[in-house]
Amino acid sequence: MFGDSSVYSRKATLSLKISEFEVPPMQDLLIIGRKAPIGPEAVRRMAEALSPEQFTLLKIDHPKIEAVLLRNSLLQMMDEKLLMKIILEESERMISESMVLRSELKIALSVQREVDLL
């Protein structure tokens, strides 16, 4: 008989991180590359399922970008063409065809008025 003093064991260590799931997870806008793993229709369906009637998908004619998902409230505050021009100008420098970019876009209105005193 062999005296075997070694003990064989298998253990697993679990690490759990819990945080709040932000709804919706896509913030204000998503910029979808032409060869991204998730396409515009899937993004539209996802947005519609998570936040019904709060996002609009705009398909565009661009060599790298296929579409942009925008929060409707942004479109109510700013002209669509102007907004898209700014988004494309800024994002096309860093996006590749296979990427989906997420962006936060806040619009702050700054007003200064001068009035005559009575």
Which chain residues interact with another protein by CB under 8 A?
35-42, 45, 98
Q: Which is nearer to another protein, 27 or 98 (CB)?
A: 98
> How far, in Å, CA of 93 to CA of 81, rounded?
19
Q: Tell the smallest beta-carbon distance from residue 85 to another protein (Å).
A: 25
> How far, in Å, CA of 6 to CA of 18, rounded?
38
Strand partners, 56: 70
Q: Tell the smallest beta-carbon distance from residue 66 to another protein (Å).
A: 9
Q: Which is nearer to another protein, 47 or 83 (CB)?
A: 47
Q: Tell the smallest beta-carbon distance from residue 70 to another protein (Å).
A: 18
Contact (CB, 8 A) for 54 and 35: no
Tokens of residue 99, six digits:
């990427």
Q: Tell the smallest beta-carbon distance from residue 35 to another protein (Å).
A: 6
Neighbours of 78 (CB within 10 A): 13
Q: Which is nearer to another protein, 43 or 74 (CB)?
A: 43
> How far, in Å, CA of 103 to CA of 31, rounded?
8
